Structures are given as C-alpha cells and as structure tokens.
Structure 1
C-alpha cells in the first residue's frame, strides 16, 4: 500500500529595518513583487504590530484598507522591522 508523501517547501524570510515614513512605500513595493506570502510588521522592541497574509488572489481593491492601516501605523512609530515570508 503506497504511503502519501508530504510536500514541504522551505520558507524564505527576509527582514528589513526602517523608519515609519518609509514603511508604506516598502510594503507597496513588496506587494508588487507578487511572491510574498506574509508580511509581519514589528516595532523596535520586537512586538508584532500588524500581520498581512497575502494570497495569489488578492488585488488592489482588497488591499486598500490594509494599506490605510499600515499608513496609520507608520504615522505613529519611529522605527520598525518588516519580516517578509516568500514562497
């Protein structure tokens, strides 16, 4: 009897450290790349502030409220890090 093999893909993660005013621009750049699975935004102490799961079917109209939220966060924080999980 054959056994099912599970397919596991290695997750690739990158972390960027930047100031609040560059946050929205960087998130938009990452979304436009298209191979992003999840974006996590953390403050300078490492506390997770915002997690954006992205799927292949997400389009600009759906992302508008998310980007507005990220813009509000950017106005409040001085330094943050973005962790990007790629496919």
Structure 2
C-alpha cells in the first residue's frame, strides 16, 4: 500500500534549482510545485518513476527561469511512501 506525504520548504531564488535537483535525486517524489511568496503557483512539475536524463533537462531549465524571477519561494513536494501491510 502507498501513502502520499506533502512537505513544504521555503527557499530563496538562488537555492531553488539546487533544492529541486536534490529532491529529484531522492527518487520517491511524485510532484514538485513552486509557489511565489504570495502563494501563487509559478511552476508545477509532475514526476513519474521513469523521468530521467533528457526528460529532466526542460524541467530544470524551467526551474532555473523561475529562480531568476523569484526572490523567495515555497517548494511543495508530494512524496510516495510504502506502508507495510498490516498483519492479520
């Protein structure tokens, strides 16, 4: 069984790209949403298990462009976690 967990991080525009890359390498991230300091969604990145290499390049370019425009932002991360089945 899988459960979804949502986390939020506040970062500066300079830290944004580095934090998103770190999250992508963790592997259990389902989606990343970037919001400005007013809470308006600037960029939403739905991720699948098979997203690698060439598919990430346009996403990271978009994150880099968003970082150039934002001084402070919030990264909202949806993670998938495995929960062990309960014993009968």
Whether these two folds match at TM > 0.5 is yes
Report Cα offsets for 1:44-83 as digits up to 9, x if no partner: 0000010000000111210101100110110111000000
Q: Give the TM-score normalised by the residue count of structure 2.
A: 0.87
2:78 to 77, 81, 85: 85
For residues 64 and 10 of structure 1, what CA distance do their matches in structure 2 show?
28
The aligned residue for residue 54 of structure 1 is 47
How many pairs align? 80
2:9 is equivalent to residue 16 of structure 1:
yes
1:33 alignment counterpart: 26
Which ranges in structure 2 are unaligned for 5 or more consecutive residues? Answer: 81-88
Structure with larger Rg: 1
* Residue aligned with 2:63, SS: helix
TM-score, normalised relative to structure 1? 0.88
Between the aligned partners of 2:65 and 2:43, the Cα distance in structure 1 is 11
Moved over 3 A (4+): none
CA–CA separation in structure 2 for the residues paired with 1:23 and 1:69: 11
